[in-house]
């Protein structure tokens, strides 16, 4: 009876989530866009193809990546949509926000913003896989655009937009209404601080000091965006990196889902700094509105109550090699799992579309400050 009850609960949760997705998607397609543009900054959790032409191992423009995505393999590190894709749809985007690399390659930067709002929410995605807040992060894998590079790309975009607006005042008003999303920092740990044989940061800084250094560098880049006209910021904290299949595989943890809590404690220190940063900027920067997405605690809750949310596999990836399918990430043309909606992780590092949907819904319309603080993304967008 107890097992039957769990299955019924899981079915109810999945049904509710599915209906919520339909309602939000219909609202997004029928209603006016909530923001004129959406700009995305970050790493592989939200990268949608900016690394495709870079000399790097951090690329995913091959099958089975994108197996559930309408455009197939696109450079997204998941089976379907990223959190940024889903939030973009909720905001009113008629299609997917393009990558900066694709827009620049096709010379369509001006076209994207020539008639603001005419085709729903427009925008650009600057995110780059393996990138971090620090310049050296992830460079052992090859080239990437770290956060300062992404901000410079946005600056270049702003300069190119000047011709589409009558004057700087109109452009600044336009930019102030846009949403700026951030999902970055994971690689500063995974592909920097937690690799002491390659990077010196763990020898130079205690976990607390490293979190402070990252927060200061992040603060500087956010301030630059504010000076360029950004006013609405959605900043996502980091998840439980110590619980991803890659880390479980390194511990050879195949029988249970015990996490590397030393790593999680280091991540928590960073998240605390970023929440403090959000609170300070909301007070100190005139006209700015910042929200903080609490991925860390929601992930902890999800791991403890996975079946209640419809997930049954929490300690191995849908596609990968080695213990927990996590030692080596998803290989070209590898056959992934069939029941992808029940897996938390797509590959060694990245969530499935189902988990991305969970986080997107929480951040977009939750009324709990423990999910997103001090307001949700829908409230931020329409303010």
Give the whole-angstrom CA distance, residue 109 versus residue 105.
9
Give the whole-angstrom CA distance, residue 89 versus residue 97.
9
Q: Cβ(51)–Cβ(58) under 8 Å? A: yes
**Out of 60, 350, 366, 371, which one is annotated catalytic?**
350
Tell me, yes or no, if 27 is annotated catalytic: no
Q: Cβ(150)–Cβ(180) under 8 Å? A: no
**Out of 47, 85, 347, 371, which one is annotated catalytic?**
347
DSSP state of 189: I
- Residue 204 token pair: 């130079």
- Residue 170 token pair: 């109109």
Count of C-beta atoms within a 10 Å radius of residue 248: 28
Give the whole-angstrom CA distance, residue 324 versus residue 304.
18
Tell me, yes or no, if 350 is annotated catalytic: yes
Angle between helices 353-365 and 83-91 (to 10 degrees): 40
Tell me, yes or no, if 168 is annotated catalytic: no
**Out of 43, 44, 122, 366, which one is annotated catalytic?**
44
Smallest CA-to-CA distance from 181 within 130, 133, 137, 235 is with 235
Cα end-to-end span (Å), the chain: 48
DSSP state of 4: H
Smallest CA-to-CA distance from 140 within 194, 101, 182 is with 194
Smallest CA-to-CA distance from 138 within 196, 189, 200 is with 189
Contacts of 189 (CB under 8 A, 6+ apart): 238, 241, 263, 266, 267, 270
3-state SS, residue 321? strand
Q: β-strand 343-345 against 372-373: which pairing, if any?
A: unpaired
**Catalytic residues, which ones?**
44, 347, 350
């Amino acid at each position: 009876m107890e097992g039957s009850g769990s299955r019924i609960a899981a079915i109810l949760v999945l049904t509710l989530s599915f209906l919520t997705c339909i309602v939000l998607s219909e609202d997004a397609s029928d209603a006016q866009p909530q923001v004129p543009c959406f700009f995305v900054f970050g790493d592989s959790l939200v990268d949608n193809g900016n690394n495709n032409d870079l000399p790097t191992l951090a690329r995913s423009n091959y099958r089975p990546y994108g197996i559930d995505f309408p455009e197939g393999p696109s450079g997204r590190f998941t089976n379907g949509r990223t959190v940024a894709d889903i939030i973009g749809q909720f905001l009113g985007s008629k299609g997917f926000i393009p990558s900066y690399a694709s827009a620049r390659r096709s010379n369509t930067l001006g076209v994207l913003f020539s008639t603001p709002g005419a085709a729903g929410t427009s925008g650009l995605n600057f995110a780059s896989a393996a990138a971090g807040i620090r310049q050296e992060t992830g460079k052992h894998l090859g080239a990437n655009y770290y956060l300062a590079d992404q901000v410079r790309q946005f600056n270049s975009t702003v300069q190119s937009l000047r011709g589409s607006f009558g004057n700087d005042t109109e452009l600044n008003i336009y930019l102030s209404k846009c949403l700026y999303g951030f999902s970055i920092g994971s690689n500063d740990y995974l592909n920097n601080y937690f690799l002491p044989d390659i990077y010196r940061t763990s020898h130079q800084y205690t976990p607390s000091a490293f979190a402070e250094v990252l927060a200061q560098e992040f603060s500087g880049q956010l301030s630059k965006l504010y000076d360029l006209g950004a006013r609405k910021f959605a900043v996502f904290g980091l998840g439980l990196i110590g619980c991803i299949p890659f880390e479980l595989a390194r511990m050879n943890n195949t029988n249970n889902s015990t996490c590397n809590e030393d790593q999680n404690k280091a991540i928590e220190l960073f998240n605390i700094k970023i929440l403090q940063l959000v609170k300070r900027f909301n007070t100190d920067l005139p006209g700015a509105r910042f929200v903080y997405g609490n991925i860390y605690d929601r992930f902890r809750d999800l791991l403890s109550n996975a079946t209640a949310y419809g997930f049954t596999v929490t300690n191995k990836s849908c596609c990968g090699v080695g213990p927990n399918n996590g030692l080596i990430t998803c290989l070209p043309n590898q056959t992934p799992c069939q029941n992808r909606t029940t897996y938390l992780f797509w590959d060694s590092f990245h969530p499935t579309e189902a988990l991305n949907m969970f986080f997107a819904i929480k951040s977009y319309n939750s009324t709990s400050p423990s999910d997103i603080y001090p307001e949700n993304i829908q409230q931020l967008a329409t303010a």
